[in-house]
Structure 1
């Protein structure tokens, strides 16, 4: 939802205190805009590098497949994060069209839902490998993992379809300058009633859809941590090379999941407080919690951007693959530059011989 537009409709009063707070909101929004853009841009670059490493990986297991799709989900989310913040930041030169008002928040919500539930798939895959329920070391094959990713993607799209309708109703009520006529009043009243009656219900369901992945990830992550601690105590100093690599990989996943849970808990608390204040129409309190929406953007940007650091710092195999890939890229680049220079020198010598 476009928080700036709804905030303006709630703060259209002559109270100088409210107007002063509106100016503060605009200043904070601009600062946060540059912070989110910087974090998201770095996160997109890092996730592209991680995806390139996963695509070059010879191990075609479900964990590599899911981590690759998690990188794709992070790239999509961070891209829409930049688009959404650019659209939602107060700017007098930007006009709100029906297409932008309807599709930008919906696409942002879809990528966020897809990203959250991809973390759940990664958690379940690692839980199956570490805990081994039903004594199966690997229940998820690569094919099954791809099917689950497709199901999550389609479900995320279908779940956020109603948001298109609610945003369209909000555009009719808040953003369009209508002429005074009985027909237009009926349309605005109809759309306003639909939005007020069903928007809160949808927001609650959406909150459950966002909080549920956090709860699932927290629970399974605790089981994984407990199992890893027990395994380390039992096999201290007696681990093979493959077992150490698996331990490093599990520690990577634990770090990613722990960061997701931390950011998800903060995000869920802010989201629930926003819905509570929206339902009770609390003026200045509503302003405070609406401004916290930008804190949500910073938290989510950090969550999607920092996975690359866990891959590099904890995983020696990932570092080796990344450095090897970068060396090859630099080698090709330098050889291409040298070849270009050699061709230019050859052409120059041929021209000189022709002249002589």
Structure 2
């Protein structure tokens, strides 16, 4: 592959601007209108879930929530470009992508509720557990892709991370391994401007994060992360190239974190409202709605139904999260080892005996013997 084929464009690809106007591109086609209409419905739900999660945090029903408000186009596109057999490796901020992949919203929020490790079955949904440590999921993703290819499976892996993760050694190791072994992996970097409080300018001197791809011998692509149409075009192309044996691609989606890093963060300490304000006009939801309306693809009734459906999902989530968790003590031993060790079996038996004794209202015979 020639070096010129590896380099990204000088500016992020944009097919729909912030005013909803089309920007044709010689290489990337505008996705079909029905695809974008489905994407809009998902964006509406994504925004409502982000808002609902913020409210649940304030009510003490979620322990923490890293909002993807303003980044929802990246989340939705990541899920939409994957086939049923493909896998998604998300970060802690990608709950919306997890839900868009088919995971029940309550199951996706269980981890953030703080009462269980992960609420969904990764194998059923082909979504890896969300990861809090930066960039560790990238290593898992390339290992999974390598194993899938060794088994002869038609699997593409899409691994998500933020700009802060690109400063970690795991990022380098994952990209280098994927390129050397020519693996079917798409790396999606959501460049939202900050690694908590550290701006991108203090993380890299590269022209863009997408330019890092050439150093590993893989394609780098730069895209407007608030333009769902452009994201679907670029990520879709990268997924198909990976599936056809073309190897990995590094995609940088330029977006912005509208809310604080999490509810435990005060973003006003390191950025001003003047910096945030222009990004509000680049809202991915409003942008796509403007385009669909101008094209005559979004009827008033369709828009109302999308919001009504989002409200129903948010209400169901709210009801489920408000219910008190009832963990069973024996669950402590359920997911430690695939085959429990003798020590664990002994401890589990002791706990079971104590529970039975407590229910029967008599002392534990083992304790009495001591």
TM-score, length-scaled by structure 1: 0.28
Relative to the length of structure 2, the TM-score reads: 0.28
Structure whose alpha-carbon radius of gyration is higher: 1
Larger helix percent: 1
Instruction: Determine which structure has the larger strand proportion and give its number.
Output: 2
